[in-house]
Structures are given as structure tokens and as C-alpha cells.
Chain A
Amino acid sequence: MLRDKRSEYLTALVLVGPFVLIYGALFVWPTIQMVMLSFTKAPLIGPGDWVGIDNYVKILGHKLFHSAFWNTAYFVLLTVVPNTLVSLLIAMAVNRLNGWVQGFVLACFFLPYILPVSVVFLAWNWIIDVQYGLAQVFVRPFNGGEPMSLTRTIPAFMPTVAFVTVWWTMGFNILLFIAGLRNVSPEIYEAAQLDSAGRWRQFSRITWPLLWPITALVLTIQLIAQLKIFDQVYLFSIGGRQDATITLVQYVYKLAFQQNKGGEAATAAVLLFGMIVVLSVLQYQVLRTRGDK
């Protein structure tokens, strides 16, 4: 059959064109502009004078940038793997349920995920409140019988926000894991049982390897999401020592919107962008090789 190459290109262009245009206009072009802005001494709005790499030297030597970097890294450490593990455990438990009970339990776990962050913040802020909070019942024994402010005591801040974040976001991961678990055919477990494989062996030799692609996906999505952490940390730190718990996005926000330093904010954003690209590509590659085995 003769193929009209030109009309194929045209079809491809019509199908892909809109996406490429929108992607270019809303992502690629702003990214290029951000990089260009990072070399200028610009205010939040409008252009500024070219200063070369001055902003990079300044930001990289800025104490607050270092603390933002470590706080973000700490938050990633506290959320990414724990969230994935907890989600996997809950998904396996939910998967054992049947019928409407399963649907109900799943809905319960998923419900927090659809709440806006402001609602999550308000609810938890009252739960952990140092004067009236319900959670103080559990906190008191660890603090010599005294109540303790979990968000105003700096060492407790990140673990608290990480806990709330895991509670809030695990619903989506549970769904992904359940989808993955349902894809594992029951015959494999049946065969394993016939070969008298125990629960642990079934998990380590069947469930875990077959779920690996999903796990890798969940870990990567989590890593990117948590590197960009802003909302919860910002909300819980309002009225407190924001600099002590500052994260990278918050640092960008502070420079841009509170200090009117567009150029320096762009520099910090470029650095964060670079970190996310490198880390997520690296992590995904590592996880993929693990999966190929």
C-alpha cells in the first residue's frame, strides 16, 4: 500500500501540536525566563540589571539557604519511605477485605486526600494545640507530664508536619498499591501455596517483586512532591520561627514575595529545579535497575 508521508506528518502535527505549543508556552518558556532572571538583580516584578553569577554566589553562601536545604532533605527523609511503607501495609490489609467493607475502609483512608491543605491544617492545629489539643494526651507522658507545643518546639516541628502529611496523602498511594495488588494473578499465590510457601515467602518472592514497578513510581512521585513541600510547613509555621523550619520553596517565596528580590528568588528556584531533576532521574534509574533483576 502506498502511504502518503506528508499527510501522516500533518496528522501528527495536528495531534501533537497543541500539546507542544501549550507545553512550550507554559513550561519551557517560563523556565528559560527563570534562568535568565536568575542572572539579574530584578525586583519581584519587572526586569533588572545583569549581574552574572553574583546571585548564585550569594544564595549558595546564604545561611538561610543551607538551613532550607537541610530542612527539606530532613522532610523528604521523614516522609518518602515511611509514606510508601505505610501505604503498602494498609493496601495489603485492605486487599484482604471483601465487598462493601473493602470499599468503605478504602474510602476512609482516601478521604483525607481530597481535603484542601487549609482544612487539614486547621483540623490538626486544634488537635495538637498545646492548651486544648486532644493529642496532648499522648504528648504529656513523653514530656514529663507537661503539654508541649508540637509546632512551636523546633525539634518536634518537622516530625509533626511529616506525620500530618503522611496521614493526609497516603490515600492516593494506597489506591496505586491496591491497583498493583489486583494485577497479581491469584493463580500464582495458589501455586505457591501448593508448594507450601509461607506468608513471608509469598510476600518476599511474589508480592514485593511484582509490586516493584508501582513502588518505584510511588517513591518517585513522593520524592518530587516532598522536595516541593511548602503549604503545610508554611501554614504550621505562621506566627512561629519561620526561619528555623524554612524549606526550599518557602525560601523562594520569602525572597520573591516578602523581600521583593525576584532575581535572587529565581536563582534559588533554578537551584531547586536542578536538584529535583537530578534526584528524581537518579532515583528512578536506581529503582529501575533494581526492578530489572
Chain B
Amino acid sequence: MTKSLRRLALASTAFFALATGAMAQQTVVWWDFLAGGDGVRMKALIEAFNTEHAGEITIENTTLEWGTPFYTKLQTSAAIGEGPDIATYHLSRIPLAVDSGTLSEITDEDMAGAGISDADFTAAASDAGKVDGTRYAVPFDQHGLILYYNKDMLAEAGLIGDDGLPTGLDGLENFNAVLAKFTGDGKYGVSTPTGDRYRTIYSLFGQQGGTMFDEAAGGFFPTDEDVAKLTAAIDVVKGWVDSGYTPVQVESPAALALFTSQQSPFFIMGNWEIPTFVDLHAKGELFEWGAVELPTLFETKAAWSDSHAFVIPANAGKEADADKRAAVLKVIAWMDQHSLDWAGAGHIPAYNAVRDSAEFQTLKPQSDYAGFADTAVFDPRTILAGPAAPLGDAWSNYVNPATTGEIEPADAATQMRDDLNGQL
């Protein structure tokens, strides 16, 4: 009897030893929506982290479908306590996420434990991760709309300046004249996918200093002047379609192909396509290319922008485990501190030390367009904003079709305003 008891005691000690040993090794479940060229870079970062932290922390990563499927799955899984330990998120969607109770607060102590603080990021980025002063996200990067160009075609047309960058593109008349020069014979001045045109239009709206949302002043596009500015921005892109500078209807993959097959010298797209061109060029399948900030067609510089960030889902019914939380924050801090590799995916690191580093400053073409970080126009702070949110729907329901002649630009602007205000 005593013998078997003692055996039991021994066995349980061994079991607990094993269990505590296992506790030191943390597994962090990670979800992201990065499936393109930047996804490859993210996976490399995760692998590097896992190697460096072998026996300590392991990231188990899963990549899900971008957009509504990702956000829906995250929200529903967090509600039943089955969400991941960490997830990527768009800062523009933080108000909506907080409203639906998907995210867990990240305290100053959490941050300090991992050796990071708000001071490591631009004020705009760290503020975008907060709702009413409470932090729900740690910024990772800033990404936005840029202008890709075919250096060979521009050089031939005498549009490359002494600094090796395109010149003479600023101002609506100048830019349109350049587009006209390249249009014809089945070629287009600029390639811009129909479904993404709203980003260009939002940038041009920002270049006129328009206000998209002001709760106190009456919601979306509060003044007639703002509606007029939106209309003017739509008119620019509709003008490109009407003049044949860009195809009426073109899906994203085909729009990319128009640029890579030299049927168009310009491509307006987010910086996330950088890896695609870097890789093609490395394989010797692409001409000399580059990317710069969007030309200023109105008064001031501006370009649509958003940020990727890290969040910790509020998994309902699961008590926050201090060790796990520390591991998750360690992951976040490490990723931010190593975001130079992420800049390879075209994004501008949110972490000041990396963005200011000499390595980033010499990274091409990233440093050629890094200036957009300072003049970026973000989505407004409202629960309707963000990708795969009502604001995104409204853009594609009203503004994109206005560029193809299905709706009059002025009608599109007022219909969009009324639809969004009706949902507030």
C-alpha cells in the first residue's frame, strides 16, 4: 500500500515536472491575411523568430483570406474563445473591432514588459491603435497608394530627371498630357484596376483638403464643399476613362499585367505589389522600374494610406494567462524591431528606429516614396471605416461605377454620403 502510494507520488512529481517544463515553452497561435508577395516575407520573419526563440516561444501561423472572411472569422472565433493569441489587423478598422468587442486591451505595462512604448511609433500611428485613450493595437507598418513607373518608357519620352526619378508629373494638366502621350495603339497611359479606383479618388480628395467625416458637423462629407471636392476627384479618374487613358473595366490581375507587359507606363496601386516586381526583376522578367509618391494633381500632397497592426483578440471565457501574454508581446516587439525585412514587402515600418535607420534610408524604391507617410490620408475614425466595412462597400457601390460612367460623379458623391449617414 505505502509502496504504491509512493510510486504514485513519484509519478505525479514527474508529471508536474514535465508540465512545468512544457509551460516555459510557449506556443503563440497567429492569424494573418497576408497571402501575396508580402505574405512570403511575413513567413520568413516568423521562421526567423521561431529559430531565434527555439525552446522558448513558437509561433504557429495560419494565413486566412483577406477582407470580410478574415474579420468575420476573427470576430466569431473570439466570441466563443477560440480565436488566435495574436492577429494582424488594419488600424482603420479598430473602432469597429472595439465596438463589437473583438479586441483585448493592451496596457502600458504589457508594452513596457516587452520593452516598447508609444514613443517608438509616430503619434498618428499609436493614436490610431487607440479608442478613447485605450490601446487595442500596436502598429507595424504604414502602407498606401503609390505610382509605379516603367523607367525605360519614361526615359524614352524624356520624363526622367537628373536624379533618375520621373519628372513633370505634378499638376492635373501636366499629368493628363503625359498620359495622352502614351495612349493609343492598344496602349494605355495608366493602369488602374476598376475595383481599386476609390483609393486614387480618396487620395485626390485629400489633395484638395476635403473632410470625409466629422461627427460634430453632421457625419460623412459634412459640407457641400466636401461633396464638390469628392465629385472633382471622381471627375479626374472618369476623365482618364473617357479619354481612353485607362481601360473602363479592368480587374486587378489584368491591370497588373497591363503594366508588366509594357502596355502602360504607369500603374497606380498600393505598395504591397513591390515584392511582385522585385521578384520578377530578379528573375530577369521585368524592365527597369521604380515607384514614387502619387503626383500632386491638386493643391497639396496626399495619398490614401492605412496601417497593418498587431492585436490580441479578447477570447471570451479564456482567462488571460500572464506567461502567454508576455510571449505574445515579445512576438510583437520582435516583429517591430525586425521590420526592416518587412519593408522589403514595400511597407514603411511604423517603428521609428527602423524607419530612421540607414539601412531603410538606402532601400530602393521604398525610400523614394517613403515621404507619403507624412502626407497620408487615413480612413476617418468611425465604426463604419476600414477594409471590408460599410465604408469600403460604399466606395465600390458608388464611386468605382462613377468612373465607368454608370453613375454621374455628382450623384455618386451625394448617394455615398446619404448611404453612409443612414448607417450611422
Q: Please list the residues of chain A having a beta carbon within 8 angstroms of any beta carbon in chain B.
A: 43-46, 125, 129-132, 148-149, 152-154, 238-244, 254, 257-260
Contact = CB atoms under 8 A, between A and B. Distances in A.
Interface residues of B, number: 34
B223 interface: no
Interface string B342-359: 000000000000000000
Nearest to B263: A131
A129 B96 contact: no
Contacts of B68: 257-258
B249 A152 contact: yes
A241 B251 contact: no
Contacts of A242: 393, 396-397
Interface in B58-94: 67-68, 72, 75-76, 79
Interface of B: 67-68, 72, 75-76, 79, 96, 99-101, 193-196, 247-252, 254, 257-258, 388-390, 393, 396-397, 400-401, 404, 406, 423
A131 B406 contact: no
Contacts of B194: 152, 239-240
A154 B407 CA distance: 12
Nearest to A244: B397
Nearest to B194: A152
Given A132-B257, A239-B396, A254-B393, 15 more contacts: A43-B100, A45-B76, A45-B100, A46-B79, A131-B257, A152-B404, A241-B396, A241-B400, A241-B401, A242-B393, A243-B397, A244-B397, A257-B72, A258-B68, A259-B423
Contacts of A43: 100
5 contacts: A44-B76, A152-B249, A240-B400, A241-B406, A242-B393
B249 A258 contact: no
Contacts of A240: 194-195, 396, 400
A154 B397 CA distance: 12
A153 B251 CA distance: 13
Nearest to A62: B422
A45 B397 contact: no
Which label, helix, strand, loop or mixed, suits the secondary structure of the A interface? loop
Given A152-B194, A257-B68, A132 B254 contact: yes
A243 B392 CA distance: 12
A131 B99 CA distance: 42
Contacts of B400: 240-241
A258 B393 contact: yes
B100 A260 contact: yes
B254 A131 contact: yes
A243 B422 CA distance: 15
B237 to A, nearest CB: 15
Contacts of A259: 390, 423
Contacts of B397: 241-244
B195 A239 contact: yes
Given A43-B100, A259-B390, A239 B252 contact: yes
4 closest A-B pairs by beta carbon, nearest first, are A239-B195, A149-B249, A131-B254, A45-B79
